[in-house]
Chains A and B, each alone.
Chain A
Amino acid sequence: MKMRPSRVFRWIVRIFLGLLTLSMTVVSILGALSAVMILGNVNENIKIPAGPASANFDITNPSSMNITIPFNITNPGYFDLTNLIIDIKISMIFGNASTLTNETTNIVIFDKAQTFPNIIRGQTYSGAFFGNSSDFIEANFPNATTEIDWFRTPVLEFHGNFTISAYYSLDLIAFTFGINNVTLGTFP
């Protein structure tokens, strides 16, 4: 059967488009399956903290403040996790003695985003999130003698917001996983 040259050209382009569509479909399906594999066992695949976290929240001595949170992230999917960023925000709740009714006040004392290396498919990355005194927002700290109600129980409460963001499926899918209001500790 003789085919017109215009039809031959059309078939070449069509085969090229077919391959493109097929590869995109495969990437989409594998990406979706990977998401199910990660979320299917999220407690095991994303562990923050993975061990004992150490922190010094002595607001009376800001230069000594620090925090270290170990974590494990397992990538059981079919693609590498890229542009992995962990953002941790710590807020402090206290009774504000400078107000008439000692109102409970919530301030952000720490906010840091840290970039980590890519996690190759099938591997677990064990790392630690570090924060030192320069990452604490000293300007937000209340005056320990005049602003903090030391008769409140507990005097200080610390809560954390954790955000993990990364790219997946050849950077075609971006995701952000956030955990809000995790109680980190109290003083005393």
Chain B
Amino acid sequence: MGAGKNLIKGIIFMGIYIVITMVIPYFTFTWIKDLSDLGIPIILEQQEYESIIFWISAFGLLISSLAFFSYSSPKQSIRKGLFALLQILVNSLYIWSYKFSGAADLLFQFDASQYITGYLFLNFQNMIMVYLGIYFLTIVLKGYDLVDFIINREKIREKRYGISGGYEKK
């Protein structure tokens, strides 16, 4: 694939990751921040909401930029392997940020009437741990890729450019 095509691929995937890691979570948390539409005014604590949005934006930006470098790199190159590994490591931190920013334990307060107040507490920690397990397997896979790209560098280059040992194949 040419450099131009790689660049376009990088930009497309950066856009996809911006949507997945920042836009969708932002709108989801903004929506659940005030669930008044559901009959009773359930409100997510403002401080908790700001903390969640901050960490989502911070790690979302990092992931998206790493996705650009990863997807714009030539197929099976060491650069691609390295950026893909870095991206998945930051992805794990992103998922972990859901735990420490408060997004994994959401506390909503509500006032059903003048006298009745209450709360709804949602705990997603088990789900986060399962996702982290999947990410751990992905890290192993990306590490394997990187080692594979380094060990088989000659074979990959031979296949990509049709050259062997620095000389073009006859």
Contact = CB atoms under 8 A, between A and B. Distances in A.
Contact of B118 (A10, A172, A175, A178): A178
A4 B152 contact: yes
Contacts of A43: 39-40
B141 A182 contact: no
Interface string A14-29: 1001001100100110
Contacts of B144: 10, 13
A39 B118 contact: no
Given A4-B155, A39-B35, A42-B39, A17 B120 contact: no
Contact of A17 (B35, B124, B130, B137): B137
B48 interface: no
A183 interface: yes
Given A14-B141, A21-B134, A42-B38, A175 B117 contact: no
B126 A24 contact: no
Contacts of A176: 119-121, 123
A177 interface: yes
Given A6-B152, A40-B39, A17 B138 contact: yes
A157 B27 CA distance: 44
Interface string A165-188: 000010111111111111100000
Interface residues of B, number: 30
B122 interface: yes
Contacts of B120: 39, 175-178
Contact of A173 (B35, B116, B126, B141): B126
B34 interface: no
A24 B134 contact: yes
A178 B39 CA distance: 16
Nearest to B141: A13
Given A6-B148, A176-B121, A180-B117, A40 B134 contact: no
A173 B40 contact: no
A28 B118 contact: no
Given A14-B141, A24-B134, A28-B127, A177 B35 contact: no
A74 to B, nearest CB: 15
A41 interface: yes
A36 interface: yes
7 contacts: A17-B141, A24-B127, A28-B127, A172-B126, A173-B126, A180-B116, A181-B117
